[in-house]
Amino acid sequence: MDESLGDLLPLIAQQLESPDTPYVREAFERLLAEPDIDEEEARAMLAFCLADELEAMGTEDRAFNTERYRVLLQLLPVMPEGR
């Protein structure tokens, strides 16, 4: 796993437990229902979506876009390839 994604795993763990981000738990559970995706890979996919949104924040000089993040999560297991 890419080191920067690994750095986001604690944030993903928090989001999975938080009542404020049920959509992260829903995406995680949906991914685990896939026969070829294990917990580590599912967490990495969630982290990738978070990394993509954080990168977009920096590139576009804007605040975190929760709706965009939710869309990225909904698209999983297809990985986003751009904005």
DSSP code of 63? Answer: -
Q: What's the pLDDT band for 83 if we cut at 50, 70, 90?
A: very low
DSSP code of 79? Answer: P
Give yes or no for residue 81 having a pLDDT over 80: no
- Give the residue extent of every domain in the chain: 3-75
Cα separation, 47 vs 24, whole angstroms: 10
Q: For tokens 């796993």, what's the residue?
A: 1
Taking only the tens place, the pLDDT of each residue in 3-45 is: 688 899 999 999 999 999 999 999 999 999 999 999 999 999 9
Mean pLDDT of 58-72: 97
Pick from 47, 58, 61: which is nearest to 4 by CA? 47
Kindly give the residue spans of alpha helices, DSSP state H, lying in 18-65: 22-32, 39-60
Task: Give the C-alpha distances (Å, rounded to integers) separating 64 from 5, 21, 68, 80.
Answer: 17, 14, 9, 17
Q: Is 27 helix (H, G, I), strand (E, B) or coil?
A: helix
